[in-house]
Structure 1
Amino acid sequence: MISYMNKWVVGALGLLNTFIVLAQKPEEDFAKYTSKFPGSNAVMTMDSEVIQLELIGDSMVTTSKVREEYYYMADNPSGYSKDRVYNSSFMKATDLEAFSLIPAKKKYSKIEVEDFKESYEMESFVFYDDGKEITFSYPSLVTGSKSVLTYNRQYKDPRMIGMFFFQSYMPVEKAEYTIIYDSRIDITVEIFNDPENRIKIERSTTDNGKSILRCIGKDLPKVKFDANSPSFQSLVPTAHFRINSYKRGDEIVPVLRSVADLHSWYQTFTHQVGTPDQAIVDMVKEVIEESDLEYERMRKIYYWVQENVRYIAFEDGMRGFIPHAGSYVLEKRYGDCKDMSSIIVDMLRAAGLEAYHTWIGTRDIPYTYEESPTPIVDNHMIATCFVDGKEYFLDATGSYTPLGLPTSMIQGKQALVDMGDTYQLLEVPVIPATENIMSDSVFFTIEEGAVNGSGEVELTGYARVFNSYRLIKTNKKSVDDYVNRLLGKGSNKFTTTDYKLSGVNDLDSNIYINYSFHIQDYYRQVGDKIYFNLVLDQTLMNGLIENREVPLENEYLYTNENVAVLDIPDGFEIEYLPENVSESSDFFSYSIAYEKQDGFVKATKTFTMNYMELEVDQFDEWNRIIKKYTRACKNALVLKKQD
């Protein structure tokens, strides 16, 4: 059983904390927190987790004690009353206690939460999830009240302990992450995203020889978010905990010392899959031709899975880690990312190709396997196939992602390729902007203030992928509305009068949109002169970054090309043609060029977004370039009636 002394210490600290909270004076607390955190509606006064690691016989027992305390300054804090605790087959929450502390003259009155409801946690993107949530509400919250939550966690596997965040969506007065562990256990705790060293680490020893490691943060501001911000765990100070190894007699038992240990553990989930059975072999014979070269075999199999196996998120205990055999997925015709990886690997191997299950984290997870060789680093599985000396990252969860293009969410991420008894770490490339292009070329005439013309849009790379989700719809009106927004230019009086799509259903083809359009009241004619802005595309004009304190993320690098050709009206000639302009930086570049032709005038505008994440210290340079870009986009062509 767990050490009586450790249990007593943790339990006594909990009782002492509750006594201290009850003994505090409401008036003093209100003055303290409104002064210390002005403008805040609530403060997390304590966020604590104490993890205990005990070696009992040949087993490691892992438990933790969680305590969360909040103080509310809002005029109506009822919006903070609802709370929840998560349960799963890996981590069981027990001994829940929650209560409100209501100010009453010189002390607080304690009101216990009595109604706890347990239900399955149903996320919109998860078909089935064995995780449960315990929901409850703090009663009678008013201005100056507090809430307290305590509970225990029991971990099925110490590899699953995870991480601790020191910041929240409100200010945090104190956050403390503590590990109490047997001297026979070797652990590592690393702090990420703390450039100002706000998190302090303290080490000590108990009277009975247990080691204590504390990570403490104090008076941390609330996390700032904005549109297209990096993920929460990319922004906040975070503690990563892992057990390297422990002693069992004279033996050192490895746990998560390195990527090799993580792979060895993961290998126990995949070693029973990856051998294609007859059903897989028979299906592969239907999909490919014997004469197909390796690349063509890979292409046909990958596209078959994308088209015929439906992606669903399915999390059920260890099944959240263990993929089904490819034949099972073939029969069901649905599966999660692991299952889709499994059927791809099985089919590719049946076709004689070199293919492997591959763990990877999406871009929301800002760590590499070398930095933190734990399950924290990944949340996704794909397949990796080697053909003609090149690796292909195959993620069939991206329904409209063509072969050769990784899903955008794993660009730049480190992949752990399971090669049986060994592994390989590969980096998924970031696709350059030159491969993700939206090109729009238009030819038009003008008459009585209106513009009438025709054009062609070509979408390549991720521009093709992301627009596919909106262009492949059964509802024609939805597609019509989206096309009109996508093609829109000049002013809000733009209308698409007709259009035709091609290449949408062929993943190896670019998408083309041929269209005709009308813009009412676009230009001015004063006397014998016409003032006309040939830069019809207004994307990023006045796109200044203001009042933002966090980096700006981009889904992918891309280039926009816009060509506009005006048929000069009879009887007019060019009096003024704007100058060509261009500017380039590491993260954004543009050029606008004008050209006279026989009876026509042509404007070509190109800009490139060349950042995946724009840092705060780059905002001033961004704004400087955007101001110049905006001015350049507003330069008008002047046509004059001929004498």
Structure 2
Amino acid sequence: MKKILIGIVLCFLSLHSFAQNFEFGAVTHADFDFDRNTIDSNANAVVLKEYGTTSFYLDDATGRLVLIFEYHTRIKINNKEGFKQANIVIPIHKSDGAEELILDLNASTFNRNQSGFVQSQMDKKAMFTENRSKYVSLVKFTLPNIKEGSIIEYSYRLQTPFLFNYRTWEFQSDIPKVYSEYVAFIPGNYNYNVSLRGFYKLSDQKSEISKECLRLSGTPVDCSKMTYIMKNIPAFVEEDYMTAPSNFRSAIYFELADVIAMSGAKQSLTKTWRDVDYELTNDKNFGSQMKRKDVFKDLIPTLTKDAPDELSKAKAIYNYIKKQIKWNNYYGKYSEGNIKAVLENRSGNVADINFSLIAALSAANLDAEAVILSTRENGTVNKLFPVISDFNYVVAKVNIDGTSYLLDASEPLLPFGLLPLRCINDQGRVINLKKPSYWIDLKASQKSVTNYVLIGKLEADGKIKGTITTTTYGYDAFNKRKEIKRYNSIDEYVEKIDESMPKFSINKHQILAVDSVEKPLVEVYEVEFAAHNGASNNQLYINPFFINKISKKPFNLNERTYPVDLGSASDQKISVMISLPGKYEMLEKPKDIAIALPASGGRYIIQSDMVDDKLTVNQILQFNKAIYSPEEYLYLKEFYSKIIQNQKTDVLLKKAD
């Protein structure tokens, strides 16, 4: 992250004095003739111009400061895939009776004909509001008369009473932009921390000062105008294995640090971690719930009576909380009630469950702490100064014999010490009731491991009959267990597998340790499937990649500016042994290869052979890191390309004379 920290004795100017906005509706032939090849030949739509500005305004009706955000954009639609750009959604935030307002909405579509341009103005009645939650509504509208080659344009003003989070400006979106400009007007007595995130740099930025541009309590205030410009911005393309896109899109962020009142008194809004520690540990829905050892005092002796050591005690308590309280599917870093009521109701949010776990661990005299974090889809947190709103989740941490275990009891199918993948996101902050808080890395404590073993026999009718045994560990086992639990029974789960693989027939099955989550999950299937059509007895082809074949590349960008985040390291092994009916020799086979990623990042190995009338094919696919940098992306692409190419080759067998 590139920081542009400004201690703003900078200021605010009248909006229309400096704003470099463009005239609404003044489309030109150059706009219609814009060649997308100049920025992205594959672009379904292109932002030709985009302008935004945020300024302070004294609301005469209430006597309070509000923020006014103005937005104006002009977009060219290149093809039908770009039509979705005409569906506009504007989030509106609300809290404690205060709510943002959309004002002066103007939206039109422009199409070209023989005589010039035709403007289709959107009817204001086409705009509607959808309530998403008690904190967010969505204002939605669709521009009319969209065609291939249309230009759409819309502008609006948004008035917000929430001064703490000054309007973020995202330079990058899902389509490329030719020009994007943001102007921030800030009174000199307001100090914001400003940061530029993302891969791309600003094309230009400037600061201008204006005298007496705003009056507060009758006192003139000097203000500043900060202009940020970025040109020829590539689209941000989301790809597999990434955390929140907001972590990587190029954008300007503002956060209010402090305000100097007209009296000269300074109100600091950027807290220290010492302030946050005090606030959280004394909060009735945070620290007070961590302290509720009394709720478990009488229960702990029964829970831990057969536990010979502290680790066994912790596991017994963890398993009890997992079974006792069902997660209501809500995140949160604060309890919604109190853990005594949660235990009685047997339901709660993430914080209810994990504060119950922390309190129970503490009641057993174990060293337990809380860890607040931001989930993968919520983005990473600010490390330079505390922003409590960045965090949306809390888990437990227990320290035993010099080892720390991170626990989330909201997922009953997770083994002890393995967090859900949604929590594996950079770092969390450990909150201790008696000691200062500190950062901790959020990493998967186990590899994801899957082993497949097929032992089969090729029959004269061209079918292979045998047994496939699949053993999974870590997240692979967790995900498979969750899938099994979606069905009413194991038989129903196996039936769905059988239906999804038309070339396979499952005759018998056995699945072990579905509920014993500390053990590997084992699936055993007796199967039969066609290896060849039986047309020739002398020569036959067998595709050895019928188990978990890689047929599609997960990475297709020319360049990726953000990391590949797998969540955890992983191992996959596939062993196939097929007994053949008689003597055969191998004429063709997939090439035996051993390829590796740089710096021991991973490897793929395949070997096939004929030994004692048995065809054997063994594969190993390993990723030794959870996160690969953008610089390693092209190596990953090439790695997968070689695997896919090699897996296109069949085994050709010829009957020996």
Interval containing the TM-score (normalised by the shorter chain):
0.7 to 0.9
How far the C-alpha of 1:200 sits from its partner, in A, is: 3.8
| Residue in structure 2 matched with residue 43 of structure 1 by the alignment | 47
CA distance in 2, matches of 1:250, 1:442: 78
Is 588-597 or 572-581 further displaced after alignment? 572-581
User: Is the counterpart of residue 606 in structure 1 residue 620 in structure 2?
Assistant: yes
* Structure 1 residues 438 and 239, CA gap change in structure 2 (3 angstroms): same
* Structure 1 residues 530 and 103, CA gap change in structure 2 (3 angstroms): closer
Q: Which one of 287, 299, 311 corresponds to residue 271 of structure 1?
A: 287
| Residue in structure 1 matched with residue 217 of structure 2 by the alignment | none
| Residue in structure 2 matched with residue 402 of structure 1 by the alignment | 415
CA distance in 2, matches of 1:102, 1:592: 57
How far the C-alpha of 1:574 sits from its partner, in A, is: 5.3
* Structure 1 residues 513 and 369, CA gap change in structure 2 (3 angstroms): same
| Residue in structure 1 matched with residue 438 of structure 2 by the alignment | 424
| Residue in structure 1 matched with residue 131 of structure 2 by the alignment | 120
* 1:569-584 correspondence runs (5 A): 569=581, 571-572=582-583, 581-584=593-596
Backbone CA RMSD of aligned residues: 4.0
CA distance in 1, matches of 2:129, 2:628: 42
| Residue in structure 1 matched with residue 373 of structure 2 by the alignment | 360
Contact persistence 2:103–2:158 (CA under 8 A): yes
Contact persistence 2:375–2:393 (CA under 8 A): yes
CA distance in 2, matches of 1:185, 1:498: 71
How far the C-alpha of 1:231 sits from its partner, in A, is: 3.3
Kindly provide the amino acid, as one letter, of the partner of residue 424 in structure 1: Y
| Residue in structure 1 matched with residue 343 of structure 2 by the alignment | 330
**C-alpha deviations, 1:359-418, integer Å up to 9, x for none?**
112234554542564246433221222122211111233342211212223335201011
CA distance in 2, matches of 1:393, 1:403: 8
Query: How many residues were matched structurally?
Result: 610
CA distance in 2, matches of 1:116, 1:380: 35
| Residue in structure 2 matched with residue 84 of structure 1 by the alignment | 90
* Structure 1 residues 268 and 496, CA gap change in structure 2 (3 angstroms): same
Contact persistence 1:325–1:343 (CA under 8 A): no
* 1:196-595 correspondence runs (5 A): 196-198=200-202, 200-208=204-212, 209-228=222-241, 231-247=244-260, 253-256=267-270, 259-260=273-274, 263=277, 266-267=280-281, 269=283, 270-276=286-292, 278-284=294-300, 287-289=303-305, 291=307, 293-314=309-330, 321=334, 324-364=337-377, 367-371=380-384, 373-375=386-388, 377-411=390-424, 413-420=426-433, 422-431=436-445, 435-448=447-460, 449-476=462-489, 479-484=493-498, 493-522=503-532, 528=538, 532=542, 534=544, 536-537=546-547, 539-540=549-550, 543=553, 545-546=555-556, 549-550=559-560, 552-569=564-581, 571-572=582-583, 581-585=593-597, 586-594=600-608
* Structure 1 residues 629 and 21, CA gap change in structure 2 (3 angstroms): closer
Contact persistence 1:118–1:132 (CA under 8 A): no
How far the C-alpha of 1:425 sits from its partner, in A, is: 0.7
* 1:616-627 correspondence runs (5 A): 618=632, 620-626=634-640
CA distance in 2, matches of 1:275, 1:262: 17
* 1:15-164 correspondence runs (5 A): 20-21=23-24, 24-25=26-27, 27=29, 29-31=31-33, 40-41=44-45, 43=47, 45-52=49-56, 63-73=67-77, 80-89=86-95, 92-101=99-108, 113-114=124-125, 117-121=128-132, 129-137=133-141, 140-142=144-146, 143-155=150-162, 158=164, 160-161=165-166, 163-164=168-169
Contact persistence 1:72–1:144 (CA under 8 A): yes
How far the C-alpha of 1:45 sits from its partner, in A, is: 3.1
Contact persistence 2:126–2:142 (CA under 8 A): no
| Residue in structure 2 matched with residue 10 of structure 1 by the alignment | 15
Kindly provide the amino acid, as one letter, of the partner of residue 131 in structure 1: Y
CA distance in 1, matches of 2:587, 2:125: 78
Q: Give the TM-score, by structure 1 length.
A: 0.81
Is 103-112 or 504-513 further displaced after alignment? 103-112
**C-alpha deviations, 1:581-636, integer Å up to 9, x for none?**
42222444122345776664543321113454556654553454445545655363
CA distance in 2, matches of 1:351, 1:173: 62
* Structure 1 residues 604 and 276, CA gap change in structure 2 (3 angstroms): same
Contact persistence 2:128–2:141 (CA under 8 A): no
* 1:165-176 correspondence runs (5 A): 165-176=170-181
| Residue in structure 2 matched with residue 124 of structure 1 by the alignment | none
CA distance in 1, matches of 2:198, 2:481: 36
Q: Give the TM-score, by structure 2 length.
A: 0.79
Is 77-86 or 161-170 further displaced after alignment? 77-86
CA distance in 2, matches of 1:530, 1:561: 26
**C-alpha deviations, 1:539-591, integer Å up to 9, x for none?**
2257485455446553533211122223343x426567978542222444122
How far the C-alpha of 1:496 sits from its partner, in A, is: 1.9
Contact persistence 1:558–1:610 (CA under 8 A): yes
| Residue in structure 1 matched with residue 197 of structure 2 by the alignment | 192
How far the C-alpha of 1:518 sits from its partner, in A, is: 0.4
Contact persistence 2:186–2:225 (CA under 8 A): yes
CA distance in 1, matches of 2:402, 2:167: 37
- SS of residue in 2 equivalent to 1:453: strand
Contact persistence 1:438–1:560 (CA under 8 A): yes
Contact persistence 2:477–2:520 (CA under 8 A): yes
For structure 2, list consecutive stretches of 5 or more residues without a partner in the other structure.
1-10, 213-221
* Structure 1 residues 102 and 565, CA gap change in structure 2 (3 angstroms): closer
How far the C-alpha of 1:7 sits from its partner, in A, is: 8.8
Kindly provide the amino acid, as one letter, of the partner of residue 113 in structure 1: K
CA distance in 2, matches of 1:93, 1:426: 37
* Structure 1 residues 403 and 473, CA gap change in structure 2 (3 angstroms): same
CA distance in 1, matches of 2:642, 2:465: 29
CA distance in 1, matches of 2:350, 2:181: 35
Is 455-464 or 133-142 further displaced after alignment? 133-142
- SS of residue in 2 equivalent to 1:206: strand
How far the C-alpha of 1:86 sits from its partner, in A, is: 1.9
Kindly provide the amino acid, as one letter, of the partner of residue 509 in structure 1: K
* Structure 1 residues 33 and 140, CA gap change in structure 2 (3 angstroms): farther
How far the C-alpha of 1:503 sits from its partner, in A, is: 0.4
Contact persistence 1:383–1:393 (CA under 8 A): yes
**C-alpha deviations, 1:19-43, integer Å up to 9, x for none?**
x325x25656544697977754463
Kindly provide the amino acid, as one letter, of the partner of residue 443 in structure 1: I
CA distance in 1, matches of 2:443, 2:557: 32
CA distance in 2, matches of 1:12, 1:401: 59
* Structure 1 residues 272 and 575, CA gap change in structure 2 (3 angstroms): closer
How far the C-alpha of 1:71 sits from its partner, in A, is: 3.7
Contact persistence 1:34–1:73 (CA under 8 A): no
CA distance in 1, matches of 2:325, 2:48: 45
Contact persistence 1:524–1:532 (CA under 8 A): no
CA distance in 1, matches of 2:246, 2:33: 32
Is 528-537 or 346-355 further displaced after alignment? 528-537
**C-alpha deviations, 1:111-154, integer Å up to 9, x for none?**
66246644431xxxxxxx42231434356455344222211111
Contact persistence 1:44–1:173 (CA under 8 A): yes
**C-alpha deviations, 1:86-123, integer Å up to 9, x for none?**
222177212523122465967968666246644431xx
